[in-house]
């Protein structure tokens, strides 16, 4: 969802910007006194500034309500399955590799050598969640799978020449074991 939103917003806003710049660029031939332009321009600028700040405040308000950062209390309340994830050049080691739909999972991610990036991808290779895997630190990602299937963990932080082979497949099944991940 966020990827789609980011794409649409960017295309629309950059196009709108291009229209503004092109419009102004076409209105340069006739010279008029600068003073009235400045006075009017500064008046418009106030509203432009207020509009931008308002959009930013609203975006901040709504986006900060959905932070991906670990909430230890919430995780404990839901009885999340704790999975230890270790990154190595160039593979992932997970304490568990099978999961169930609807089951909250707490990935405790670290690295045993250099920086890696833990990127969780669905069957359509869409990125669902991520965190950095760092030596000496454990970053926690909470995630609940909503569909069964084969998921991939890709390395998203450059870790040297085998970076692109650092892929791990995990399986998510329907609760009760009905699904083998093919549906």
Of 70 and 173, nearer to other proteins (C-beta) is 70
| Closest listed residue to residue 144, CA positions, set 176, 112, 107, 114 | 107
20 binds other proteins (CB under 8 A): yes
Of 111 and 173, nearer to other proteins (C-beta) is 111
Smallest distance from the beta carbon of 172 to other proteins, in angstroms? 18
Q: Which stretch binds other proteins (CB under 8 A): 17-25, 76-84, 92-100, 175-183?
A: 17-25
CA angle 22, 26, 31 (to 5 degrees): 140
**Which residues, 131 to 170, sit near other proteins by CB under 8 A?**
131-132, 134-141, 154-164
74 binds other proteins (CB under 8 A): no
Rounded Cα distance, 174 and 103, in Å: 10
Of 68 and 102, nearer to other proteins (C-beta) is 68
Q: What are phi and psi of 4, to 5 degrees?
A: -65, -45
Lookup result for tokens 């399955």: 81
115 CB burial (10 A radius; 0-12, 13-18, 19+):
middle
Of 154 and 172, nearer to other proteins (C-beta) is 154
106 binds other proteins (CB under 8 A): no
């Amino acid at each position: 969802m966020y990827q789609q939103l980011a794409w649409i917003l960017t295309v629309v806003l950059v196009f709108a910007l291009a229209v503004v710049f092109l419009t102004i660029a076409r209105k340069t031939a006739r010279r008029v006194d600068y003073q009235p332009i400045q006075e009017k321009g500064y008046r418009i600028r106030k509203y432009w500034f207020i509009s931008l700040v308002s959009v930013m405040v609203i975006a901040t308000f709504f986006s900060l309500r959905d932070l991906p950062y670990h909430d230890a209390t919430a995780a404990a309340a839901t009885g999340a399955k704790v999975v230890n994830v270790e990154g190595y050049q160039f593979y992932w080691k997970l304490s568990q590799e099978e999961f169930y739909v609807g089951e909250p999972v707490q990935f405790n991610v670290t690295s045993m050598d250099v920086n890696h990036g833990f990127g969780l991808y669905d069957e359509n290779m869409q990125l669902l969640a991520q965190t950095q895997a760092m030596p000496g630190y454990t970053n926690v990602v909470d995630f609940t799978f909503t569909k069964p299937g084969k998921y991939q963990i890709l390395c998203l932080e450059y870790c040297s020449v085998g970076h692109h082979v650092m892929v791990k497949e995990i399986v998510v099944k329907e609760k009760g074991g009905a699904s083998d991940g093919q549906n």
